[in-house]
Amino acid sequence: MLTTEIRWPISKYFMRIPVEKPFLRDFQLVGFADIGTAWEGNSPFDEGNLLNSETLSTGPITITYENINDPIVGGVGFGLRSTILGYFVRADMAWGIENGIISDERIIMFSLTLDI
């Protein structure tokens, strides 16, 4: 798995005087990208891999066909990051990438961490 992000400290670029409030001082715009592999079974191309078969049903007809999915998946997005009460708080919006196609569905995530 490979993860990369770029953090842009907003207040340091726009404020001419030192900022005392931690929330404003630590406020950052973040862009990120992730890439990795995902499959089920011994191999991503194994016949037993459930991710490589799809089923379509229309009325009384049901068809199951083999659809080899690319085991390389990823995601891209952006977010905001700052500190509240000594914790780093982050809100991200991301889109998944599967079979080389960026998903139309976005995912919104919130996290609370310590930056040690």
Task: Provide the residue ranges of all domains of the chain, joining segments of one domain with +.
Answer: 1-38+71-116
DSSP 24-55: HHT-EEEEEEEEEE--SSS-TT-TT-GGGEEE
Q: pTM value?
A: 0.75
Tell me the pLDDT band of 90, cut-offs 50, 70 and 90: very high
Ordered strands of the 28-37 beta sheet: 2-9, 28-37, 72-84, 87-98, 101-113
pLDDT at 34: 95
Closest CA to 115 of 93, 91, 85, 86: 86
Average pLDDT over residues 1-21: 87
Across the chain, mean pLDDT equals 87
Tell me the pLDDT band of 97, cut-offs 50, 70 and 90: very high
- What's the residue count for the chain? 116
pLDDT at 50: 66
